[in-house]
Structure 1
Amino acid sequence: MRGLAAPFYNTIVLLLGLGSGSSRETNIMNRYTAGFLTLGDDGACMTELDIDLVLVPVDGSEESHEAVDYAIAIAREYGARVHALYVLDEDVVRAIETGAVDEADIADDTESFTDSVIERADAAGVPHGNSIAYGFSTKVKTVHPGSVVLDTAEEIDADFIVVPREPVTGGPGEVLEKAAEYVLLYASQPVLSV
């Protein structure tokens, strides 16, 4: 695999239909994903990926829900676990600190989203975990949503990342719109952007 300095990661997604089923995750897998192959510098196929843990960063947006479905489908296909990382936006955290937003409301929203991930993973028979992280630091300038996702991927030893590709709207709480391109450029793991 290429290191962090590589501008493009040499992973291709093969578009092959697999199996049959009625669940949304199965349909996603059937339509978009069958196997992932890594190419060497010479373009030769090196190996089929061995995926044990799929990381999916989320922020509660609709795009995050879709990314979770893809992550669960991939995890199920490879017999892997899925880990949802809920990334809190700087604006949300600052609003909590200043009292502009009720911390309990944010906690309820976060819990509701992570509960939906648990329900979908359980329904698909996929082992799961979740965590929450701040997508910024007031002390370290290099900490931002993309670096938080990549640091978490390394900490939990993720083999694959599914990142929601959110439209750039600048809306509060849509922290991952700032992270997707960074993750695509610098991840040492294969990344699927949806």
Structure 2
Amino acid sequence: MLSTVSPEVQEQLVHAQKRLLVTGLWENQEPYYAREAIQSILPHRDPFLFLDSIDGFDLEAGTLAGHFDVTNRTEIFQGHFPDCPVWPGVLQVESIGQAGAFLFLMGRPQTGQPRVHATHLLHARFMQSIGPNSLIRVFVKVIEDGLFSTVVGQCVVGQTICSAAAVSLLIPH
């Protein structure tokens, strides 16, 4: 583990590689926030918005469950290992960052277009490839640390944890 991350972040990263970070938040039939509502909070737009819905969240615990369906997004896979298409790891990390930024921003009043800056990729581990026709669950936990926030998250397909990452975000006031 990196010595520059706090013990709490290290603990969450180890957890994220072995067990689901968030349980029970995605079991509702209807999403809490659909794509249009996500766009009202995040500055990201197609083709670089990697959340289709927010399925549940707990502001007090700093956790969120969302998903992204790559089934109809074949352009993502074109040219990325054409004989064995894989959803790029950097986009998995981006979806974790977007979910964390959404959770961080949703509880704060917005004045103008929100600005969110990823400052560090603290850790990433890719344990299972994600291919076409996958529904990706994105689970995150935000750990606030003063000016910066650390997002620990995972991309999960079915019950398989495919990746885990920690990203440092700066959200100017």
TM-score normalized by the length of structure 2: 0.29
Greater share of helix: 1
Greater share of strand: 2
TM-score normalized by the length of structure 1: 0.26
